[in-house]
Amino acid sequence: DADVTQTPRNRITKTGKRIMLECSQTKGHDRMYWYRQDPGLGLQLIYYSFDVKDINKGEISDGYSVSRQAQAKFSLSLESAIPNQTALYFCATKLGHTGELFFGEGSRLTVL
Amino acid sequence: QKEVEQDPGPLSVPEGAIVSLNCTYSNSAFQYFMWYRQYSRKGPELLMYTYSSGNKEDGRFTAQVDKSSKYISLFIRDSQPSDSATYLCAMSLGGGATNKLIFGTGTLLAVQP
């Protein structure tokens, strides 16, 4: 099983719908991140969390919210999805200040 | 101007070729430089990690940082079809400042058998 698991791997939804992407990890890492990847734009940080009570906005947090339900779980929500949120979303984890960033396999979201 | 510029490719080379992948950056305060490899339908994985200027070698891979020119490179010797992937450069102001990790857009590499 993957150390960083994202669900769903693929989702097609309609404009205005609420969608949640979930991430769970078995690595025991304290820090968790949500990135978005778009062709020509690279990876952009949406939100990050250093522990359950510490949530921070990244570069492109507008239109997104997150919840750190436990050290191992970090979910990303789109309250009212719009077409320009169509992208590949990655969850990542890291141990402490200087650890390596480990990515999940991605969740492909299409908003029609 | 983007903080990190990377040629998107695609770059197609024959098996056994030496591959050179490059990124330029504008922020002279970047100190930590990374290369990630991303296979199709997978998440990025860390390939090389370098602090400040100089070279770092790991098997067929060499990472090179030239801070005076704000230019980093990844060289792949004796390239293999299994090296076909997208290569992302990334850099940060401090080793622990992953919240400030800035990625390039990635270069798609295809190694032809």
Residues paired with B107 in a beta bridge: B87
Contact flag B105-A42 (C-beta cutoff 8 Å): yes
Residues paired with A19 in a beta bridge: A78
B46 near A CB under 8 A: yes
| Chain B hits for A41, Cβ within 8 Å | 105
Q: Is B37:B43 a contact under the CB 8 Å cutoff?
A: no
Examine the pLDDT at A69 and tell me if it is beyond 70.
yes
In the 8-state DSSP scheme, what is residue B88? Answer: E
Looking at chain B, which residue has its C-alpha nearest residue A6?
B43
A74 near B CB under 8 A: no
pLDDT, mean over chain A = 93
Share of chain A above pLDDT 90, in %: 86
B18 near A CB under 8 A: no
Examine the pLDDT at B98 and tell me if it is beyond 60.
no
Q: Is A42 helix (H, G, I), strand (E, B) or coil?
A: strand
B101 near A CB under 8 A: yes
Examine the pLDDT at B73 and tell me if it is beyond 80.
yes
Residue B96 has what pLDDT?
54
SS3 content of chain A, % helix, strand, coil (to 5): 5, 55, 40
Could you tell me the two tokens for A41? 């734009």
Q: How confident is the model at residue B93 (pLDDT cuts 50, 70, 90)?
A: confident
Contact flag B43-A103 (C-beta cutoff 8 Å): yes
Model confidence pLDDT, tens digit, residues A70-90: 999 999 999 999 999 999 999
- The pLDDT of B86-91, averaged and rounded, is 94
pLDDT, mean over chain B = 91
Model confidence pLDDT, tens digit, residues B28-40: 988 889 999 999 9
Examine the pLDDT at B77 and tell me if it is beyond 60.
yes
Examine the pLDDT at A19 and tell me if it is beyond 90.
yes
Sign of CA dihedral B94, B29, B67, B4: positive
| Chain A hits for B3, Cβ within 8 Å | none
Counted across chains A and B, CB pairs separated by less than 8 A come out at 50
Model confidence pLDDT, tens digit, residues B43-58: 999 999 888 888 999 9
Q: Is A23:A75 a contact under the CB 8 Å cutoff?
A: yes
